[in-house]
Structure 1
Amino acid sequence: MHHLKLAPSWLRFLIILLLTMGILFRFSNLDGKVFWHDETFTLLRISGYTANEAKQQLFNNRIVSGESFAQFQGANPEKSLNDTIMSLAKQDSQHPPLYYIIARLWVEIFGNSVTAIRSLSACISLLVFPCVYWLCRELFNVPLSVPGVAIALMAISPIHLVYAQEAQEYILWLVTILLSSAFLLRAIRLEDELAEERQKPDLFAIWSLYAVTLAISLYTFILSAFVAVAHGIYVMIIAKFKFTETVRTYLLASLVGFLAFMPWITIVIGDFFQFLISADKTTQSDIIPIFPFLSMQLSRIFFDIDLSSENPLSKLIALTLLILVGYSIYFICRATNYKVWSFIITLIVVPALPIILPDLITGSIRSSTEAYLIPSYLGIQLAVAYLLATQLYNGRRSRRSFWHIIMALVIICGLISSKVSFQAETWWNKGMNYGNPQVAQIINQSNRPLLISDALGNNYGDVFSLSYLLEPKVRFLLVNNQKIPKIPDGFTDVFLLNPSKAWGKIIEKKYKFKTDIVYSDNYYSIWKFAKTRNLRRRNISPNNQLPAELSTKPTILP
């Protein structure tokens, strides 16, 4: 690797340029995208209230304004930090409390706005760059070339930009994975270097820090347990499956990390297996064939535009990137020793297996599991960074020129994807609330609109998410257990959010109205009361269910 030790000046300049652009992307337009269902639950946990408490106060068959939601969307004097932790323990134990504790302290200083809470993730994402530099130094033992290329790739990676602007714990999880992995590699390297000198205090300090960062990672996201398993398999591989001193020390450090997590394990153990099956109790998701899903996610690491369309250019780019990923993994296995490639392979494969294996039986996977593959994204980016860094100035001129073109393609794809993503008002990760801008536009066009909803299913989070886009003139009539709403006079238009078939018919019968669908997508629909009985039969099937063409993409009717 001697040819990798010093990067040419043009590469150093390019790395700095891409890093600067990546930072600008992360802090631009933070409040521009939909503040969706899961993010509203983040602020609910920060507020210290449980969902049941919020439903009791809001969903009680009364007319409320959008200001009524503010009490449950951020820090408030009525609830303390302890209430934040307790609300997670009661209703969201699959989400450990570390991120929410940090977020609570953050919004107490900077406020409860969308920009404020998302800026926390953007700031945390800056820690990714020094951490990935250190991890690459420990893994590849080169000062700039591979670490620099890895920083550049992660700076403009659209998948990292998504989570750097999301009010959730996933970008913090990435930082903790990087730190714990770097401490592990550092400890193993010191074990080898100091084998004869036996400088135990230095080793003890590094292994202790590994235990601490592992515990921090577990308190950030519970699937860190599978990253720890990947670390364990890696340690066994480099020890050639012998019970060496390194293996014993690793097991002790891991045990300390898990013992530190025991207070939360006692809370989560009861529904941990249910969490693995359902992934998220409050989030509805698409079911996608597993291999198209995985190919789409691999491509999104570098290119995130129009992947689901039939655009030939986007398909060609996606295929090229998939080939690049496959060749990168092959190349690193062939060109490096087993202490390098085994770390990357275990990081890619082991944390992903618990997510993918249960879905292999049915041949489909939930679209809400993208963030759970962050360790695999990291491993893939390390492999691609190593391939590009080694090939940029290796071999004949024609070979180097080819890899310059490939790197230029990767950079252009990342920059274009990041630019389009940070300017967009919604994106694929917004899940069930992807269509909120269109829904809000429909409702805001009315002079005095009223939105009716119950608290069943995901409706609770959908109402909170919509409230961020609706104008102050909009009023909400929120009912519990699908009670018949008491609709007062004085509203020009009345809308119904995602009603069940039976509830919609009851309302129609009582008020002698007909409900006309004005918006529908895969997750929910908006219906509008119409006093006329001349219903648009072309838009609604005879049994009052959505026609097939409305179930695949958002539809707005005139």
Structure 2
Amino acid sequence: MTSLRISGYRQTELVQQVFDGRPISVGQLLEQYQYPNRTKNLANTLNVLTGNPEHSPLYYLMARFWLQIFGNSIVTIRALSAVISLLAIPCVYWLCRELFSSSVTSWIGVTIIAISPFHVLYAQEAREYSLWIVTILFSSASLLRAKRLNNWSSWGIYGLSVALGLYAHPFSGFVLLGHGIYVLLTATRRWSKQIVAYLLSSIVGLLLFLPWMAIVIANFSKFLDNTASVNVSRSGFLPLFWGLNLSRIFLDFNQGTSPFSPLHYLTAFLAIYALYHLWRHTPLKTWLFIVTLIGVTGTAIIAPDLILGGRRSSITRYAIPCYLGIQIAVAYLISSKCLGINSFGDGEMGRWGDAQTPRRGDGEMGRWGDAQTPRRGDGEMGRKRDKQILSLSTTEHHQRWQYVAIVLIISGVLSCGVSSQIPVWWHKSYAKSRYNPQIVRIVNQAEQPLLISNEIPGRVMSLCHWLKPDVQLQLVVEPNIPEIDEGFKNLFLYRPSEALKQGIEEKYNSQLEPAYKSWLWRLENRE
């Protein structure tokens, strides 16, 4: 329903004006109710957005201006998401640079994000999630920069990023809460200048967000009604959905939630080991940032499901901050294991922020990735032999992890290639639209077709984007039966209710035959 909101129409207006049984062409429907036009202005779009306070407004306003500049089409609006997603590349590079002070680790982080099937999918979606990803990365990097420089200009940039994040997605509040916990735990004194600067910049960001916050509070009952579906428990074992969603950020072959899928367990092991390695080999100021980025959002969506029931934690896009944190941890793991890069040299701040001697594992990598103290050799030949053994062991260890990195890269690229060849992937609500490509082909090839439906508006509008502009529609609400005009050679019903099917058969003394499974029906022998 993104395009409907952009056009400035509410769903109730669409139903009243279009679902009245009168014929309307697909072209007319899309032009008026899916794209900006003269009948509705920016104020109408803002008014519509207030009725959906669970969606922050920034993306929808950007999309409206984008379409007005570059023209109305589904390709144009998806291009906006693609352009926004490109901004994630410099942002993730900047964030990794602030965390690890390593350009190599930063470039590995960029590569992981760029080939991630999850990020590639949402870079093509006319939805706000690519914008949310960018704001998460930008606000996180700007916070670390502000802590490092500790001047008013850098804290001012962070305050602006707070507002941008909240205007991009309401779950940015969890990210900002994680930032607050991080600042408090890494502060040297309870009321240090950094804490004061952080609080002031956060207050500035919240003040900038205050206009929309007031709208959310005023329409909070609508917020609860519109998000009530997340309180309905999902059939199946929740941890299997967590494993599936986690695997999708690295490889995605539509693997499903089978408990026997090795991909779930392999990616879970990779994520857990990457976080352990991060904790083991980086100072507090680094690993704690990743842990708070993952932990706050993860707790916020998992705990209600476990305590109250629901499906929040099974919805992939809600956990985007968690996935970004895991991908950054994997980037550090690969850079240190494959290339032997230690972003924090000897004498850097240790695990708890104090200088400490190198720990086991900070030196050359042993058989399991930990340092092994060279054995006392028997004279000069013994020392040379020990050095050769250590060098060979380190080389073999690096090679094993290089193979892991290659597998991740190939899996990501192949996943993107596979999903690009299939019209309906899982992120398109597969259960609700899986047969649409075949239905579109049948209707578009028919001569003088008429498509009748009483399906919910969102599913009808989604189908219409793929139909020819001259295809005629007759949309109704139950229990109405449309008056079918003469002159149509092929009459179809799209996902009709049983009442609509029975009513048409009785009214026109005809018979409905399935044209494609139970989703498309053809009216035969009309009298």
Query: Which moved further from structure 2: 389-398 or 147-156?
Result: 389-398
| Contact 1:287/1:365, CA 8 A, preserved across alignment | no
The one of 65, 69, 87 equivalent to 1:109 is 69
Q: 1:552 matched to which residue of 2?
A: none
Partner Cα distance (1:229, 1:273) in 2: 24
User: For residues 19-78 of structure 1, what are the alpha-carbon distances to aligned partners after superposition, in whole Å with 9 as ceiling and x for unaligned?
Assistant: xxxxxxxxxxxxxxxxxxxxxx22222222222222232222111111121111112123
Matched, 1:85 2:31: no
Distance 2:109 2:465 in 1: 37
Spell out, residue by residue over 1:168-217, the C-alpha distance to the aligned partner (whole angstroms, 9 max, x if none).
Answer: 111111111111111111111224xxxxxxxxxxx111111111111011
Q: Contact 1:497 / 1:527 at 8 angstroms: preserved in 2?
A: yes
Task: Report the Cα distance in structure 1 between the residues aligned to 2:330 and 2:215, rounded to whole angstroms.
Answer: 39
SS of the equivalent of 1:136 reads helix
1:77-112 CA distance string (max 9 Å, x none): 2322222222211x2222122112211111111111
Which residue in 2 is equivalent to 1:35? none
Is 1:355–1:369's contact at 8 Å kept on the other side of the alignment?
Answer: no
Residue 379 of structure 1 and its aligned partner are, at CA, apart by 0.4
| Stretches of structure 1 lacking an aligned partner (at least 5 in a row) | 1-40, 192-202, 533-558
Query: What is the CA-CA distance between 1:471 and the residue it aligns to?
Result: 2.9
Unaligned runs of 5+ residues in structure 2 are: 341-364, 366-393
Q: Residue 189 in 1 paired to residue 148 in 2?
A: yes
Instruction: Report the Cα distance in structure 2 between the residues aligned to 1:220 and 1:336, rounded to whole angstroms.
Output: 31
- Indicate if the aligned counterparts of 1:288 and 1:364 stay in contact, CA closer than 8 A: no
Aligned counterparts, 1:112-123, within 5 A: 112-123=72-83
Q: Which secondary structure state, in structure 1, belongs to the residue aligned with residue 492 of structure 2?
A: strand
What is the CA distance between 1:277 and its match in structure 2? 7.7
1:404 aligns with 2:402: yes
Q: Which amino acid aligns with 2:178?
A: A
SS of 1:350's equivalent in the other structure is helix
Q: Could you say if the C-alpha distance between residues 511 and 359 of structure 1 is closer, same or farther in structure 2, counting changes exceeding 3 Å?
A: farther
**Aligned AA for 1:230?**
G
Q: Structure 1 residue 154: deviation in Å?
A: 0.6
Given that residues 518 and 527 in structure 1 are in contact (C-alpha distance below 8 angstroms), is that contact kept between their aligned partners in structure 2? yes
TM-score (norm 1): 0.78
State the partner residue of 1:198: none
User: Offset of 1:510 from its aligned partner?
Assistant: 2.8
Q: Secondary structure at the match of 1:322?
A: helix
Match of 1:451, SS state, is strand
Q: Distance in 1 between matches of 2:79 and 2:412?
A: 21
* Residue 339 of structure 1 pairs with residue 285 of structure 2: yes
CA contact (8 A) 1:173 1:217 kept: yes
Cα distance in 1, alignment partners of residues 421 and 95 from structure 2: 31
Which residue number in structure 2 is paired with residue 443 of structure 1?
443
**2:320 corresponds to 1:322:** no
Aligned to 2:343: none
Query: Percent sequence identity over matched residues?
Result: 43
Task: Identify the residue that residue 204 of structure 2 maps to in structure 1.
Answer: 256
Residue 95 (structure 2) aligns with? 135
- 1:428 partnered with 2:388: no
**1:329 and 1:380 in contact (8 A); partners too:** yes
Task: Give the match for residue 200 of structure 1.
Answer: none
Residues in 1 aligned to 2:137 and 2:68: alpha-carbon distance in whole angstroms: 28
Asked if residue 478 in structure 1 is aligned to residue 475 in structure 2, the reply is yes
SS in 1 for 2:520: strand
Q: Secondary structure at the match of 1:76?
A: coil
Helix, strand or coil at the partner of 2:321: helix
Give, in angstroms, the shift of residue 499 of structure 1. 3.1
1:453 aligns with 2:456: no
Over aligned residue pairs, what C-alpha RMSD do you find?
2.8
Which residue identity lines up with residue 97 of structure 1 in the other structure?
A: P
Q: What is the match of residue 487 of structure 2?
A: 490
Distance 1:500 1:271, change over 3 A: farther
Secondary structure of 1:262's aligned partner: helix
Match status 1:372 vs 2:318: yes
What is the CA distance between 1:234 and its match in structure 2? 1.2
Q: 1:497 to 1:359 in 2, by over 3 A?
A: farther
Structure-1 residue corresponding to 2:160:
212
Choose from 226, 238, 246 the match for 1:290. Answer: 238
The change in CA–CA distance for 1:280 and 1:389 in structure 2 (over 3 A counts) is: farther
| Structure with larger RCO (C-alpha < 8 A, sep 6+) | 1
Structure 2 distance, partners of 1:443, 1:128, is 40
Distance 1:418 1:276 in 2: 35
**What amino acid maps onto 2:173 in structure 1?**
A
Matched, 1:175 2:173: no
Bigger CA radius of gyration:
2
**Equivalent residue, structure 2, for 1:529:** 523
- Deviation of 1:342 after TM superposition, in Å, equals 1.1
Structure 2: how far apart are the matches of 1:329 and 1:277?
37
Shift of 1:126: 1.1
Shift of 1:160: 0.4
SS of structure 1 residue aligned to 2:23? strand
Amino acid across the alignment from 2:415: S
Kindly provide the amino acid, as one letter, of the partner of residue 289 in structure 1: F
Q: Secondary structure at the match of 1:351?
A: helix
Provide the TM-score with structure 2 as the length reference: 0.83
Other structure's SS at 1:450 match: strand
Could you say what secondary structure the match of 2:311 adopts? strand
CA deviation map 1:91-142 (0-9, x unaligned): 2222122112211111111111111111111111111111111111111122
- Residues 451 and 475 in structure 1, CA contact (< 8 A), matched pair in contact too: yes
Cα offset for 1:501? 3.3
Aligned length: 471
Given that 2:301 and 2:312 are in contact with CA atoms closer than 8 Å, whether structure 1 keeps it comes out as: no
Alpha-carbon contact 1:293-1:365 (below 8 Å) kept? no
